[in-house]
Amino acid sequence: MSMADIYLDNNATTMVDPLVVEAMLPYFTEQFGNPSSMHSFGNKVGRAIKQAREQVQILLGAEHDSEIIFTSCGTESDSTAILSSLKAQPERREIIITQVEHPAVLTLCEYLEKDGYTIHRMKVDSKGRLDLDVYRRLLSDRVAIVSVMWANNETGTLFPVLEMAELARAAGVMFHTDAVQAVGKVPIDLKNSAVDMLSVSGHKLHAPKGIGVLYLRRGTRFRPLLRGGHQERGRRAGTENAASIAGLGRAAELAMENLAYESTAVKTMRDHLEEGILGVVPNAFVTGDLDNRLPNTSNIAFEYIEGEAILMLLNRAGIAASSGSACTSGSLEPSHVMQAMGIPYTAAHGTVRFSLSRYNTTEEIEGVIRAVPPVVAQLRKLSPYWGEDSPVADPEKVFAPTYS
């Protein structure tokens, strides 16, 4: 990787901001104390954690800093929230999620299904949108928790979580949202919402990997996942990851400062990228809800070619992105998100997600706009579905391999 490489995979993970690294360094060296200790070694570390908690509180618009629980990652926060709701309300045996949740929620729910829980997986339409009438009908006193992501990681599509949380509250049901893609990209004001729990992942907002947050509204019935020490007021035992907590605090502060930049400058670059590619490449389209999505995410389906091959050629051109193809994950089917939206296989395997950050530049975007068309053309030349400069007539009939 050279410095010239263009990183457009920020929904996977982000670069740690140099200011964040700076904020963390003392906690690897002289500030090594355990915040639980009575002596001065631990004391300063304890103060740093307190400061970070307040910085995260501000970013989330939480009413109290004690509503912020530091965890190891977004997945831990998701598991803690869902399992807590089941432990606290053993008589409630149903969970409402969507078909397009992150595996952190989907796989856990599949596992819970084996234990006899009923999982309602709400469908999405071709743009990835939910039907709130269906949701209203699912809410009942049998439901332990609703867990719906704030924004989808693949398409950036935003869900109406604030409205859904109000509906859940009115029905007496707990509401959790996996907001790892939304925090730092869209404004969040939890004190004026009905959200009970919310998951944050540090490495999605320029903090390091291995640190996350579970927001837990004061008064929400809670059962910890990890029991042991009194850390995080006994709600998440285990010695604090002090350096990463300090880093996340600083990252939250920087995210707050850059929030407007995300929805203006970053969004402008994203839109320019889309127009630049779609203006030149035929048989390509953007997936998701175009009018209601994260400002940094663009998911483009290139028909009749496969995503991993696109990524390998882009990577050679110094461009990093990701794909919803089966091959990039080693699974047998393309992304569950693309399937839920009914994207045909010939396009779903060719989806490429470009996700920007505040570190990208217009020059980089221009470079990507130049690099993508020849990559697509090169692979289409190999594709049995592609003719001279357009798909063969009736592609699915002309090429119908055995056991398809």
Partner 1 sequence: MWDYSEKVKEHFFNPRNAGAITDANAVGEVGSISCGDALRLTLKVDAETTIILDAGFETFGCGSAIASSSALTEIVKGKSLDEALKISNQDIADFLDGLPPEKMHCSVMGREALQAAIANYRGEEWQDKHEEGALVCKCFAISDAMIEETVRSNDLRTVEDVTNYTKAGGGCSSCHEAIEGILTRVLAEQGEVFHVQAPPAEAQPVAASRDSTMTNLQRIRRIETVIESIRPQLQVDNGDVELVEVDGNTVYVNMSGACSGCQVISMTLGGIQQRLMEELGEFIKVVPASQMSQLARAGI
Tell me, by CB under 8 A, how many residues bind partner 1.
34
- CA 363, CA 147: separation in Å to the nearest integer? 39
Query: Which of 138, 226, 280, 327 is in the footprint of partner 1 by CB under 8 A?
Result: 327
Residues identified as active-site:
327
Q: Is 390 in the site for partner 1 (CB under 8 A)?
A: no
Query: Which of 5, 141, 312, 361 is in the footprint of partner 1 by CB under 8 A?
Result: 312
Q: Is 403 in the site for partner 1 (CB under 8 A)?
A: yes
Q: Is 371 in the site for partner 1 (CB under 8 A)?
A: no
DSSP assignment of 281-305 equals -SSEEE-S-TTSB-TTEEEEEETTS
- CA 63, CA 189: separation in Å to the nearest integer? 9
- CA 352, CA 355: separation in Å to the nearest integer? 10
Q: Residue 160: what are its φ and ψ, rounded to 5°?
A: -80, 65
Q: Which of residues 286-305 bind partner 1 (CB under 8 A)?
A: 304-305
Q: Is 116 in the site for partner 1 (CB under 8 A)?
A: no
Please report how close the Cβ of residue 40 comes to partner 1 at its closest, in angstroms.
45
Tell me the window of 52-60, 72-80, 100-108, 342-350 that interacts with partner 1 (CB under 8 A): 342-350
Tell me the window of 194-202, 210-218, 271-279, 375-383 that interacts with partner 1 (CB under 8 A): 375-383
Query: Which of 17, 232, 274, 306 is in the footprint of partner 1 by CB under 8 A?
Result: 306
Please report how close the Cβ of residue 402 comes to partner 1 at its closest, in angstroms.
5
Please, which residues have CB within 8 angstroms of residue 19's CB and are 6 or more apart in sequence?
Answer: 250, 254
CA 156, 203, 200, 242: dihedral to nearest 10 degrees? -170
Strand order across the 284-286 sheet: 284-286, 297-302, 351-355, 322-323
Q: Is 157 in the site for partner 1 (CB under 8 A)?
A: no
- CA 265, CA 356: separation in Å to the nearest integer? 11
Query: Which of 35, 184, 288, 334 is in the footprint of partner 1 by CB under 8 A?
Result: 334
Residues that bind partner 1 (CB under 8 A): 304-309, 311-313, 315-316, 325-328, 330-334, 345-346, 349, 381-385, 399-404
